[in-house]
Structures are given as C-alpha cells and as structure tokens.
Amino acid sequence: MRIIPIIVLALLTSLLPGMPGRADLTSDTSAPLVAIKPELRAEIAALMPEGMTAYDIRVTIPDDDLALGQTIEGGQTVTYINVTGEPIDSLPFRLYANSIAALAPPLVINSAQIGGQDAPITYSVHDSVATVQLDQALAPGETVTIEMTFSLALPVDDPTHYGILNYDTDSRTAVMAHWYPVVAGRDPNTGWMLDPVSIFGDPIFTDAGLYTVTISAPSNQTLITSGVETERVDDSGRSTVTFEASPSRDFVIITSETLVSYETEVDGTTITSWTRPDNTGVSPQVATWTANALEVFNPLLGEYPWTQLQVIQAPIYSAAAVELPQMFIMGTSFYRQAADTGSYFEFTVAHEAVHMWFYSQVGNNQYAHAFIDEGLTNYLSADVYFRVMYGDEYGDATRQRFLVGDFRRMIEANADVIVDFPTDSFPTASAYVSAVYTKAPLGFATIHEAMGDEAFFASLQDYVTAFRFRVATPADLEAAFQHRTDVVIREIWSHWFERREGALDIRSGA
Ligand SMILES: [Zn+2]
C-alpha cells in the first residue's frame, strides 16, 4: 500500500505465467510508451496485459487562486475493453475522492455518453461508486468508449485524504491524486473492488491503464505529473501541456507556484526532487537516497522501467509519505529534520522508492491484503536497502530499529495480530500498522533467510515479471517463493501471516 501512518513514528522511538503479451498493443491505443526507457519499450510492450483501459483526459486548472475553492473542470474519453471473461451490461467507476470522511462529494460526474447518447449512472457507496449503464451488453473482448465530463471541488488545507487530494495555501501547491473517475480495480479472486474508501490504509486500488492527459493551467504553475511531457502550447498566460503515461497504475497531477527542483540520474531514469524554496539544501540528499534505492533494487528486482521518478515535498496528514505512480510525496516535516544516514527520513525515502515495484508495477488489492505490498516494501527498505548500501552491521541495526523493536513491544503488549486481514477490519489503525509494517516484514525476512539470497531475489524477479501492470494475490507471491525453493513456504507463510504465534518468535530471539 502507499502509506506509512505516523503511528509508526510513535511506536519507534512453476510460477504463474504472465498472460501472453502482444507486441503490437501500443498501435491499438495510439499511446506510445514514451514514459518508458527507450531500450525497454519493446520488452514492456510485450509484457503489458491485453485490454488495458485507455484514458484520454482533459483538465482545466482555473486562473483564480485555488484557495478560493474554484472548481476544476475535466473531461475524459475512456476506452474500456471487457476483460472480465463474461458479458457485462454496466461498468463501475470509482470516485475515490468521495470517501465517507469528505463533507460533500468533491468529485461529480456531469455527463456520461456512449455513442452520443446519455448513459444513465447509478451512485452507491457514499457516491464513491458510479455505475454507468452501457447501451448494450458488452461481450468479452469487446470495446466500449465512454465520454464523460466531471467537476472537482479541490479541498483546501484539508486533512481528509492524507493530503493527496488537497490545495495547500501555504506553499500554493495542489496535489491531485484520485481526482478523476477511474474504472474500478478488479481483484483476480473477487472481481470489481467496490468497498468503501479505506479509512486505515491506501485509498486507491486501480488496474494499470494507458494515459494521455492534457492540462490547461496558468503558465506560472509548474506541472509535476505521473507522465512525460510531449506537447506544450503557451498562449496569453496559460499553458496547454500534454503528458503521456503508459502504462501507469494511475495518473497524478501536482501544480505548484513555489516548488524548486533538483535533478540526478541513475540507470537512464531522471530523479527529480521537488522542495519548497527554503528546503532546497536537503534536496540533493533526497535525490541521492532515491537514486541509491534504484541502484540497489534495479539488479535485485528487475530494472525500474520508466524514464522519470519524482519526489515531492508536500503536507501529508496522518501519514509520513505516500507512493503514487512514478512519484512519491514526502511529508513536509521531514525536510525540517537532519537528513542523516540511517535516519527514519532515509528509510522512508527507500520505502516509497520500493513501492515503484510493489504498487506502481505489481498491483494488489490493498483493501483485502495490504501486507503483500506494504510488508514486502517495508522489509526491503528497512533491512535490505541498508544492508546493501552500508553493510551487514548497518542492516542489522536498521532491522532492529525499524522492525524488531516494534515487534517485540507489540508481542509484549499482548497485541499480536493476524497479518493477512482486510485493512478496515483491523480493530484500530495501530493494529493495522503493526500487522503490515512490523510483523509482515519480519515474515518476509524469515522467508528470505530460509531461501537464501539467490532464490529469494530470483523469486521476486519472477513475481515482478509475471505480474507487472497486473494485480497479484497473496497466493501468487507465495507461489513465486515456492517455485524457487525446497523449503516449505506454506509453513512460514501461515505462521507469520495467518496466525497469532508471534510470542514463539520473541522467545526464539527474532
Ligand atoms: Zn508503504
């Protein structure tokens, strides 16, 4: 998932084959893979699942100060191919902005049309599901094109959405995640994910798609997005800029009048660190840590395929940082601390960078099984990252500091949890955090130690290759490990993730 709740700080002190790819898929969509490194485009095109939804979005950022609560108007052409395997007569969209916590639904669909005719929409789940009635049944493999217009009342200085759907008046920066209607994500086991927007965890679950997004904005706004700029027209103080982001898990826009950039490059990926003007001193360090993470994990997990990765300073509420597609947001408070080696700051940067594999590339239903991305990500960033960067002694120390100490306190407090549990079904946010950020990583550490380096990382590469731009389940990850070892993974998996047996690990000195 995408969030390290701030509670963590308080506590601290034969593998499934990929679907056959189609090398000519890009020609179906007219969305070139310009966001992918040139030398990887053919490989990525061949790996992309068939039938990815294509979004062609137009959005207008108003001239007036967003602090005044101006509405942002958008429109999109959504080309959906029925990959459900059965005929459908309606298509559910998620309006994740409309969580139960929002005072009024910030995101409203104004119109939906198919073939020039209005398509009826039914709203449910606190207006976070908008089901569009199709004009006729859509057989498996058939395509429908939906034209939609929508309005977003961007919240201002609003903590409701962790800060990822918010205009910050202090830095005059707008963060727009889940700002448009997106086709509901599909869980391989249970189908359309239509649960209420998560309270404890990551709010967004999507299938990767093909994105062309054209933004019209005042020219004094810097546009930071999940995509790569391909076209720009500047006229009369406004800019119209087109971005391509294919394939991408989602599309996020950040506009700012104040953020300052610092760039570095690693393995063909440009890393851009964006900070407030008074925090530029920290920016090179943040960029370096991000570059370190790519250098550590490119060989271990398979090369990060996109040409860019951006790190943005922004106010985050009830979390430390949030991963987004080809970017992540670091909470403003980090930038006021010392940027020391081995700090919680460096750990968090590494954590979010690892999400570029386990979230951005391999999706999972984090409502149902948050631990397979969060737990794995937290293990790789709290332990493996530091071990590879600075040596085993360092890795031992950060594992102790970021994982084991919390786990010991959790067991001693008689607060053991079952890890593989639906996010919002945990009794408290603290129990959720303990499960996915503390106990789950130690389960993955145990699997790593049982398998050894070679088999463990080979299995993770298999997993990334097979489920890149798809949605994986816990069984898929377990099978990936089992495929590469004679160790009985089920026993370790069940002990750590499906039972409350943590006291045994404390006694054996985990
Ligand atoms: Zn995370």
Encode pLDDT of 383-421 as tens digits: 999 999 999 999 999 999 999 999 999 999 999 999 999
Q: If 0-12 CB within 10 Å is exposed, 13-18 middle and 19+ buried, where does residue 260 land?
A: middle
- Band (pLDDT 50/70/90 cuts) for residue 20 is very low
Question: What average pLDDT score do residues 5-14 get?
Answer: 37
Local structure of 404: helix, strand or coil = helix
Q: Is pLDDT above 60 for 244?
A: yes
Cα(472) to centroid(ligand 1), Å: 16
Cα(158) to centroid(ligand 1), Å: 21
Query: In the prediction, which pLDDT does 5 show?
Result: 47
Reported as half-sphere exposure (CB side, CA atoms, 13 A), residue 65 has a value of 8
pLDDT digits (tens, 9 = 90+) for 298-338: 999 999 999 999 999 999 998 999 999 999 999 999 999 88
Q: Is pLDDT above 60 for 10?
A: no
Contact by Cβ (8 Å): 276, 294: no
Cα(141) to centroid(ligand 1), Å: 34
Q: Is pLDDT above 80 for 277?
A: yes
Cα(320) to centroid(ligand 1), Å: 9
Local structure of 400: helix, strand or coil = helix
Among residues of the chain, what percentage have pLDDT more than 70?
Answer: 93
Q: Is pLDDT above 50 for 15?
A: no
d(CA 461, CA 293): 16
Of the two residues 338 and 11, the one the predictor is more confident about is: 338
d(CA 267, CA 247): 19
Query: In the prediction, which pLDDT does 197 show?
Result: 87
d(CA 337, CA 331): 11
Cα(200) to centroid(ligand 1), Å: 12
Cα(32) to centroid(ligand 1), Å: 30
Poorest-pLDDT segment among 266-275, 374-383, 498-507:
498-507
- Which CA distances in Å does 398 have to 3, 392, 402, 494? 19, 10, 6, 26
Question: What average pLDDT score do residues 116-145 get?
Answer: 97
Of the two residues 423 and 472, the one the predictor is more confident about is: 472
Helices and strands (H and E) in the chain: how many: 15, 25
- Band (pLDDT 50/70/90 cuts) for residue 3 is low
Cα(323) to centroid(ligand 1), Å: 7
Cα(380) to centroid(ligand 1), Å: 11
Contact by Cβ (8 Å): 152, 179: yes
Where are the extended beta strands (E) located within 253-406? 253-256, 260-266, 269-275, 308-314, 321-324, 327-331, 363-364
d(CA 305, CA 41): 8
Cα(331) to centroid(ligand 1), Å: 13
Question: What average pLDDT score do residues 241-246 get?
Answer: 97
Q: Tokens representing 222? A: 């810097």
- Residue 316 gets which letter from DSSP? -
- Band (pLDDT 50/70/90 cuts) for residue 6 is very low
Query: In the prediction, which pLDDT does 454 show?
Result: 98
Query: In the prediction, which pLDDT does 213 show?
Result: 98
Residue type at 377 in one-letter notation: T
- Residue 274 CB neighbour total at 10 angstroms: 27
Local structure of 42: helix, strand or coil = helix
Query: In the prediction, which pLDDT does 69 show?
Result: 82
Cα(164) to centroid(ligand 1), Å: 14
Cα(213) to centroid(ligand 1), Å: 26
Query: In the prediction, which pLDDT does 342 show?
Result: 94
Cα(375) to centroid(ligand 1), Å: 8
Query: In the prediction, which pLDDT does 283 show?
Result: 97
Poorest-pLDDT segment among 9-13, 88-92, 222-226:
9-13
How does DSSP assign 229-292, residue by residue?
EEEEEEETTEEEEEEEEEEES---EEEESS-EEEEEEETTEEEEEEE-GGGGGGHHHHHHHHHH
d(CA 48, CA 467): 9
| 136 membership: H or E segment, kind and range | strand 129-138
Q: Mean pLDDT score of the chain, rounded to an integer?
A: 92
d(CA 411, CA 122): 46
Q: Is pLDDT above 90 for 496?
A: yes
Q: If 0-12 CB within 10 Å is exposed, 13-18 middle and 19+ buried, where does residue 414 land?
A: exposed
Cα(151) to centroid(ligand 1), Å: 30
Distant-in-sequence contacts of 458-465, Cβ < 8 A, 24+ apart: 458/484, 459/15, 459/483, 459/484, 459/485, 460/300, 460/301, 460/376, 461/300, 461/301, 461/302, 462/15, 463/15, 463/362, 464/301, 464/302, 464/357, 464/361, 464/362, 465/18, 465/47, 465/302
Cα(106) to centroid(ligand 1), Å: 26
- Band (pLDDT 50/70/90 cuts) for residue 263 is very high
Cα(179) to centroid(ligand 1), Å: 21
Query: In the prediction, which pLDDT does 7 show?
Result: 40
- Band (pLDDT 50/70/90 cuts) for residue 508 is low
Cα(390) to centroid(ligand 1), Å: 22
Q: Is pLDDT above 70 for 344?
A: yes
Query: In the prediction, which pLDDT does 137 show?
Result: 97
Cα(277) to centroid(ligand 1), Å: 27
Q: Is the pTM of this model over 0.75?
A: yes
- The protein residues having their C-beta less than 5 angstroms from ligand 1 (an ion) are 374
- Band (pLDDT 50/70/90 cuts) for residue 99 is confident
Question: What average pLDDT score do residues 191-219 get?
Answer: 92
Question: What average pLDDT score do residues 99-120 get?
Answer: 91
Q: Is pLDDT above 80 for 243?
A: yes
Cα(5) to centroid(ligand 1), Å: 9
d(CA 160, CA 143): 36
Question: What average pLDDT score do residues 432-452 get?
Answer: 96
- Residue 156 gets which letter from DSSP? B
Q: Is pLDDT above 90 for 24?
A: no
Q: Is pLDDT above 90 for 26?
A: no
Q: What CA dihedral angle connects 487, 492, 493 and 498, to 10 degrees?
A: 150
Q: If 0-12 CB within 10 Å is exposed, 13-18 middle and 19+ buried, where does residue 64 land?
A: exposed
Local structure of 470: helix, strand or coil = coil
Q: Is pLDDT above 80 for 352?
A: yes
Poorest-pLDDT segment among 61-65, 178-182, 490-494:
61-65
Cα(367) to centroid(ligand 1), Å: 13
Cα(348) to centroid(ligand 1), Å: 9
Pick the CATH number of 48-257 from 2.60.40.1730, 3.30.1650.10, 1.10.600.10, 3.20.20.390: 2.60.40.1730
Cα(70) to centroid(ligand 1), Å: 32
Query: In the prediction, which pLDDT does 198 show?
Result: 83
Cα(350) to centroid(ligand 1), Å: 10
Cα(123) to centroid(ligand 1), Å: 30
Cα(220) to centroid(ligand 1), Å: 32
d(CA 323, CA 1): 8
Query: In the prediction, which pLDDT does 199 show?
Result: 77
Cα(330) to centroid(ligand 1), Å: 12
